[in-house]
């Protein structure tokens, strides 16, 4: 949500509450119901905008965590590739040592 949209949304909520308060002070019996509706709508709008902002901040945090995990995975893969290439003098991976059940590995 843009800064302009945020200002417009919260401004509208404040305007509804203010209009309801002025209407309740100026109008008689029938105007009080309309004032109650305006104040209620303004407060509901403000509350929903706050929850919306919290949801957006959680989405941004989740995206940052995904990016950090992806960078970590790329670094791990580069390190593994570097270790594989340094494993033997010719750039080939070392062969796995043979092993029999119940016996330690044989070193040739």
- Full domain range(s) for residue 53: 3-86
Of 15, 13, 9, which Cα lies nearest the Cα of 53?
9
- Does the residue 95 lie in any domain? no
- Does the residue 60 lie in any domain? yes
Q: What does the pLDDT look like over 43-100, one tens digit per residue?
A: 999 999 999 999 999 999 999 999 999 999 998 988 888 877 775 555 566 666 666 6
Residue 7: how many other CB atoms lie within 10 Å: 10
- Does the residue 99 lie in any domain? no
Residue 72 near residue 63 (C-beta atoms within 8 A): no
Q: What does the pLDDT look like over 46-62, one tens digit per residue?
A: 999 999 999 999 999 99
- Does the residue 61 lie in any domain? yes
- The number of folded domains in the chain is 1
Of 11, 2, 82, which Cα lies nearest the Cα of 42?
11
Give pTM, 2 decimals.
Answer: 0.61
**Backbone angle region of 28, left / alpha / beta, with phi > 0 → left and psi within -120 to 50 → alpha:** beta
- Does the residue 50 lie in any domain? yes
């Amino acid at each position: 949500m843009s800064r302009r949209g945020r200002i417009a949304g919260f401004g509208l909520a404040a305007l509804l509450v203010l209009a309801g308060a002025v209407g309740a002070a100026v109008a008689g019996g029938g105007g009080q119901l309309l004032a109650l509706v305006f104040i209620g709508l303004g407060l509901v709008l403000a509350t929903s905008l706050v929850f919306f902002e919290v949801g957006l901040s959680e989405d941004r945090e989740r995206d940052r965590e995904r990016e950090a995990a992806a960078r970590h995975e790329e670094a791990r893969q580069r390190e593994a590739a570097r270790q594989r290439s340094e494993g033997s003098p010719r750039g080939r991976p070392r062969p796995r040592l043979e092993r029999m059940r119940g016996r330690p590995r044989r070193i040739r």
